[in-house]
Amino acid sequence: MNELVSISHHADIAVVTISNPPVNALGPGVPEGIQSCIATAAADPGVSAIVVMGGGRTFIAGADIREFGKVVSGEKPRRSLLPFLLEIEDCAKPVVMAIHGTAFGGGLEVAMAGHYRVIAPAALVGQPEVKLGIIPGAAGTQRLPRLAGVAKAVEMCAFGEPMGAQEALALGIVDRIIEGDLTAGAVAFAREVAGHPPPKTRERTAKLRDADAEIFDRARQQARKTRRGQNAPLAAIEAVEAATKLPFEAGCAREAELFDECLYSTQSRALMHAFFAERAVSKIPDVPKDTPVSEIRRAAVIGAGTMGAGITMNYANAGIPVIVKETEQEALDRGMANIRRNYANTVKKGKLSQAGMDQRLDLITPRLTYDGFENADIIAEAVFEGMALKKQVFAEIDRIARPECILASNTSYLDVDEIASVTNRPEMVLGHHYFSPANVMRLLEIVRGRATSKAALATSMALAKRMNKIGVLAGNARGFIGNRMLGPYLREAQFLVEEGASVEDVNGALYDFGMAMGPLAMSDLAGLDVGWRARREFKHLEKPGVRVPLVADRLCEMGRYGQKTGRGWSRYDENRQASHDPETAALIEQVAREAGIGRRAILHQEIVERCIFALVNEGARVLGEGVALRASDIDVVYLNGYAFPAWRGGPMFYADAVGLGTVLARIQEWSACHGEDLWSPAPLLVELARSGGTFSGFDKRREVAG
Ligand code: 3HC
Ligand code: NAI
C-alpha cells in the first residue's frame, strides 16, 4: 500500500484501487503499490479473493511513457514489469481485474497476469505500443495469444488498434461484461471464483496451437504496406511468433530483446515525441484552461464546394445541426450529392450504419439564402479564395449573425485581419483552416487574428476536439504554418526537375523517405491550377530577378491540371494510376534550355535534403516569428495535414535528429550556389545551430519562460 494504491474490504473480498491520475499509468510506485496490496491481501486469512481496479476515469492506460525517455537517456535504469506480473499470477488467491475506461499496453498486460478479467461495457482493451515505436514489453506478446488466439494477438500487437468489451469477451480476453456498478459486479464475480484454484494465463497453451505460418506472413505483408518504414510492427509480429515456438520464459526473453531494440531507436523517440506533441498542442500559454468556452449548438457553412461540403459533414458528424448555403441551386445540389455519396461510401465500408447516415443528413439543411443564420453560434466560410469575395461575405454575415456568433474563414492564404476589418466584431473572427478532404483529415489550423478573443480561441479548440480533429494555433501570416512551409518544399521539388532529376526521381525519393506521396504527385492530386491561381494573385509580391519554378505554369497553360484532367506532372489512367509522361519530360527539358538551367544527374539524397531542409528552414522562420507556438506544433501540422512519416517525428524533430549544425551547413552551401534570396538560413536555425541547441530545447525554454 502507498499513496498511489490502496486497499479496501468488501467482507471477504479485498479491493485494490489504483489512484494515479489522470490515466493510472504504471509510473514509479504503482507496480510496487499493487504488489504490496496483493501480498497483504494474500496473507490476510479474512480475504478469499482480490479485485484490482482503477480509480477515476480508467483502469491502467499503460506504462508511464515519460519514463521511457529517462531510460533511453540513461537517467534511470530500465525496470522490467515481468517479475511483478509473475507475482500477481502466482498469488494463491484468485485475482480479478476489473476494467473500465482503457486497459492499454502495460495496463492490459497487468490485467492478463490476473486470473480473471471483468469489464465495463464501454471499456477498451489494446496493445497500442507500436504507435509509440515499441512493442509490448511486459509479456503482452506472450500472454495475449494464449487468451485471444494467435491471429488476433498478432493483429492487436502489430497494429495497435483498441478493441471493445464485446469482442474482448468473445475472444476470451475477458471473462464477463459487468453492466451497472463495476465494483459490485467485480466483487460478486470474485466471490464466485473464490476457493477455486486460480488459472494462470501463462500456463494456457490451447490457443497457441492455432499458430500458422500464414498468419505471420500475412501480417508482415500488411505491416510493410500499411506501416511502411516502421520497425515496431515487424518486431511485434516476431515476438508473438516467439510465443508459439518457445516456452513462456524464453518467449518473454525474446520479447525483451525486441523491446529494447525498438526502445533504443530513433523511431520510438520520434513516435513518443509525436504522442506528447499532439497533447501539448491545445495548450495556448496566454489562454488559461478556465477560459469560458461557448457552446456550439447550431452552425452554418457558406459554400458547398470541395471544402464547404466536408466542413458541413464535420459539424453533422459532431451532432451539430448545420445550414449549408450556396448561391445557386446547381452548386447546392452538387454539394449535397457529394455529402450523400461520401456518407454512402462510409456505410458501404461498414464504418457507419444507414441509421447513422440518415441522422447526420437530417442535421444538414441546404439553403440558398441566409435564413436561419441569425441562430447560428458559428458561421464557417468556405467560398472561393479571393479577398474581395471574402470581405463581401463577411460584411453580409456580420449584419445577420448574433453578436456572440464566431465567424471563421477557411481561407488558405488570405489575411484574417483584413477579412475581420469589414465586421463589427473582429474579436469573434478567426481562421478555421481545414485540410482536404475536410471530413477526413484530422488537422485544423486555428488562425488567430490581431483582435481574436481568447474565448473564440478556446471555443475553437474545444470544437476541434468535439469534431475529433487536432486544433493547432497558427499566427495570421500568409499560408499560416502548413501551406507557408509547403511553398519552399514544392519550389525545390520543381527546381530539382528543372536541374535534371526526373519527376519519378523526385516523387520516389520522398516516398522512400516516408512521405505518403512525392511532392509532384501531391500537387497533381491537389490540382496544379490551385497554385497557378494563387501565384497570379500574389504575383506582385515576387522579387524581380529571383528564380521561380517555371514548369507548373506551363503545364496549366496546356490545360494539364493534374489528376482531375488526367495529366499533370504525370499521366493518369482511369483508375488514377500514375505513369511517366514523356511530354512532361520534354517540356521540362525545353523550359530548362530556354532558361539556361544546366542539367545534371541528381542523387536521391540531394532531392530529400533540398526538399526537407527547405521545409525545416521555413519551419524555423515560422517558429522564430511566433506564427507557430512550438516546434512540436509544426510537427503536429506536418504529421496530420501533410502525411509526413510519423516515425520520423515531423520535420522539426527530424532536423533535431539530423543535427541542426548539419542542416545549417547544407543550407549555407545551397545559399552560396543558388543564391541568398532562395536559401538564406532562418535566424532561429542559425542561433540554435551555433549554440548547439535543438528545436525541442527551444520549446522547453519557451515553456519554462511561460
Ligand atoms: N503515460 C504517461 N502519460 C500519459 C499516458 C501514459 N501511458 N497516457 C496518457 N497520458 C497523459 C497524457 O499525456 C495527458 O497528459 P496532459 O494532460 O498533461 O497533456 C493525459 O494523460 C491525458 O491523456 P489524453 O489527453 O490522451 O486523454 P484522453 O482521455 O483523450 O485519452 C488515453 C486517454 C486513451 C489513455 C490516451 O491518453 C492514450 O492512448 N494513452 C496512451 C496509451 C498507451 O500508449 N499505452 C501504452 C504505453 S507503453 C506500455 O505500456 C509499454 C508496456 O508494454 C511495458
Ligand atoms: P470550391 O470552388 O470547391 O468551392 C467554393 C464554393 O463556394 C463554390 O461551390 C461556390 O459556388 C461557393 N460560393 C462562392 N461564393 C459564394 C457565396 N457568396 N455564398 C455561398 N457560396 C458561395 O473551393 P474550395 O476548394 O472548397 O475552397 C474554398 C475555400 O477553402 C478557399 O478559400 C480555399 O482557399 C480554401 N481551402 C481549400 C482547400 C482545398 O484543398 N481545396 C484546402 C484548404 C482550404
> What is the model's pLDDT at position 533?
81
Task: Give the ligand with the smallest distance to the CA of 258.
Answer: 1
Among this protein's residues, is 109 annotated catalytic? yes
Q: Is 409 in the pocket of ligand 2 (CB under 6 A)?
A: no
3-class DSSP state of 567: strand
> What is the model's pLDDT at position 706?
67
Tally of residues, the chain: 706
**Would the CA dihedral through 377, 383, 387, 393 be positive or negative?**
negative
Smallest CA-to-CA distance from 580 within 520, 525, 511 is with 520
How many whole angstroms from 671 Cα to the centroid of ligand 1?
43
Q: Is 302 in the pocket of ligand 2 (CB under 6 A)?
A: yes
Element (H, E) at 357: helix 354-362
Q: C-alpha grid cell for residue 120?
A: 465495463
Question: Residue 445 forms beta bridges with which residues?
Answer: 433, 472
- Contact between residue 236 and residue 598 where contact means Cβ atoms under 8 Å apart: no
> What is the model's pLDDT at position 208?
95
Rounded to 5°, angle at Cα 571 from 577 and 343:
45
3-class DSSP state of 598: coil
Smallest CA-to-CA distance from 393 within 366, 375, 414 is with 414
Out of 65, 81, 110, give the residue to mutate to test ligand 1, the one with the largest number of ligand atoms within 8 Å of its CB: 65
- Contact between residue 100 and residue 58 where contact means Cβ atoms under 8 Å apart: yes
Count the neighbouring beta carbons within 10 Å of the beta carbon of residue 590. Answer: 12
Q: Give the atom of ligand 2 at the shortest distance from the alpha carbon of 307.
A: 26
Counting as low any pLDDT under 50, the low residues of the chain are none
Spatial distance between the Cα atoms of 458 and 470, rounded to a whole number of angstroms = 13
Q: Give the atom of ligand 2 at the shortest distance from the alpha carbon of 530.
A: 41
**pLDDT, tens digit (0-9, with 9 covering 90-100), for 130-156:** 999 999 999 999 999 999 999 999 999
Residue the block writes with cell 498468419: 215
Q: Is 201 in the pocket of ligand 2 (CB under 6 A)?
A: no
Spatial distance between the Cα atoms of 294 and 283, rounded to a whole number of angstroms = 17
- Contact between residue 440 and residue 412 where contact means Cβ atoms under 8 Å apart: no
Out of 23, 66, 102, 259, give the residue to mutate to test ligand 1, the one with the largest number of ligand atoms within 8 Å of its CB: 23
Q: Is 326 in the pocket of ligand 2 (CB under 6 A)?
A: yes
Spatial distance between the Cα atoms of 477 and 673, rounded to a whole number of angstroms = 29
Q: Is 91 in the pocket of ligand 2 (CB under 6 A)?
A: no
Q: Which of 89, 129, 238, 381 is catalytic?
A: 129
- DSSP E strands: which ranges in 419-532? 429-434, 443-448, 470-475
3-class DSSP state of 221: helix
Q: Is 385 in the pocket of ligand 2 (CB under 6 A)?
A: yes
503-513 helix and 582-595 helix, angle to the nearest 10 degrees = 100
- Contact between residue 259 and residue 137 where contact means Cβ atoms under 8 Å apart: yes
Q: Is 384 in the pocket of ligand 2 (CB under 6 A)?
A: yes
Q: Give the atom of ligand 1 at the shortest distance from the alpha carbon of 276.
A: 13
Q: Give the atom of ligand 1 at the shortest distance from the alpha carbon of 283.
A: 19
User: First-to-last CA distance in the chain?
Assistant: 37
DSSP letter assigned to residue 199? P
